[in-house]
Amino acid sequence: MGHTDGFIKNDAATAPAPDADELAAWGAAALDADAPAAAPAPAVSGLPAPAAGGADAGTAAAAPPEEIFHRIGQLTRTLHDAIRELGYHEDLSDARDNLPDARDRLAYIARLTGDAAEKVLNSVDRARNVQDEMSGRALGLRTRWAAVAAYTAGGDRATPAGAALVDETCAFLSSLAQQAESTNAILTEIMMAQDFHDLTGQVIRKVVSLATVLEEQLVKLLIDTTPGEQRKKVEVSALEGPVVNPESRTDVVSDQAGVDDLLASLGF
Amino acid sequence: MTTEPRFLIVDDFSTMRRIVRNLLKEIGFANAEEAEDGVAALNLLKSSKFDFVVSDINMPNMDGFALLKSVRADENLKGIPFLMVTAEAKKEDIVNAAQNGANGYIVKPFTKATLEEKVQKIMQKLG
């Protein structure tokens, strides 16, 4: 995959397509390499058995759909047999059993990052309200001090020190309002940074979807290859990290209150 | 007397709805409602008057493309400005949105300036 002008470009789309002869030769070679050396594979019910030695390059290009389905059937059967004979069904079983846990953990990450983003947004809103109030009050005071300055400037009560203090106070109040604007701009940046939750959440959702499909396929494969009595229970590790689905379990607590209640019930 | 335009923000992530709502408020559009998918958005659009839709694409139940097509196919809704704000950056999606009548397309992550520019541009263009 390459990138051009900010867009994802599929290199495969621009590569010259192989012609029919090339595809036929490639397909035949691949099948020949995987096929048993001499004995023909058993026929799938209702379909004719292939010739010994696999298809040759000259006939592969014109292979009828029945022939293709037959070959796929052979490969599937060979794969099932190999998995069973080599004992890989146990690995498959482990993989299948671990997928729901992986999904839960991803959902846990999504929930925690979402909660964190919400907390940041709440804090930004509160900080912005404080800024707005401070800015408003500063502007109000500045207006009043400006009136005082105008009054004292021409009067007998004016003193150099007092006039300077009024000017300085007015300048400070003005700068306070400007600083509040700067702070609000920073708060906007902090708020915008929380869009990571949306973006990472979408990725997590796709991975979870992929894991679900994978799990379904593994279950089907296991049904075909594993005798029921050989299935084993997954051992639960002693330390499993944060609990990602406390509501579905009775052996864990869901929050600190649960911890405190449990300790209190034990007399601590 | 001109009334303040009413926005409908459509996104399945509440964080993003909140961000867009706050940004719209900052750029001068405080009147906004939210919907979490295309179905909820279409119900709101049919039951209440809105002047602008800001919608995500990838959502459950009804995605942004389906919502856009439904809006453009509805005699009462077809004139509403429709801005896509999405993480989908594929060319075909952008072209698809344009061909189906979207007035603008923003790819996440985006900035306040980008949102403001697109909204103002659409509003000026459509009068």
Predicted pLDDT of residue A238: 40
The structural domain count of chain B equals 1
Cβ–Cβ under 8 Å, residues B92 and B69: no
Name the token pair of A240: 């499993």
Q: Is B15 on the interface with A (CB under 8 A)?
A: yes
In angstroms, what separates the C-alpha of A127 from chain B's closest C-alpha?
14
Measured between beta carbons, which residues in chain B are less than 8 angstroms from residue A181?
none
Q: Residue B10 phi/psi, 5° resolution?
A: -120, 115
What are the tokens at B42?
Answer: 């279409």
Question: Is residue A49 very low, low, confident or very high in pLDDT (cuts 50, 70, 90)?
Answer: very low
Report the gap between the CA of A253 and the closest CA in chain B (Å): 28
**Is B45 part of any domain?**
yes
Residue A22: band (very low, low, confident or very high) from pLDDT cuts 50, 70, 90: very low
How high is the pLDDT of residue B27? 93
B70 occurs within a structural domain: yes
B49 falls within a domain: yes
- Residue B1 covered by a domain: no
**Percent of chain B clearing pLDDT 70 (strictly above):** 98
Is B105 inside any structural domain? yes
* Residue bearing the bigger pLDDT, A199 or B5: B5
Domain limits for position B16: 7-126
Q: Do B109 and A202 touch (CB under 8 A)?
A: no
Question: Does the residue B40 lie in any domain?
Answer: yes
Which chain A residues are within 8 Å of B15, Cβ to Cβ?
114, 117-118, 121, 194-195, 197-198
Closest by Cβ to B26, choosing from A121, A188, A197: A188
* CATH number of the domain residue B108 falls in: 3.40.50.2300
Instruction: Indicate whether A52 pLDDT > 70.
Output: no
Examine residue B2 and state whether it is found in any structural domain, yes or no.
Answer: no
As to burial, measured by CB atoms within 10 angstroms (0-12 exposed, 13-18 middle, 19+ buried), residue B115 is buried
Q: Contacts of residue B54 in chain A, CB cutoff 8 Å? A: none
Percent of chain A with pLDDT over 90: 11
Low-confidence stretches of chain B (pLDDT < 70) are 1-2
B78: in domain: yes
- What one-character-per-residue DSSP string does B29-95 give? ---EEEESSHHHHHHHHHHS--SEEEE-SS-SSS-HHHHHHHHHHSTTTTTS-EEEEES---HHHHH
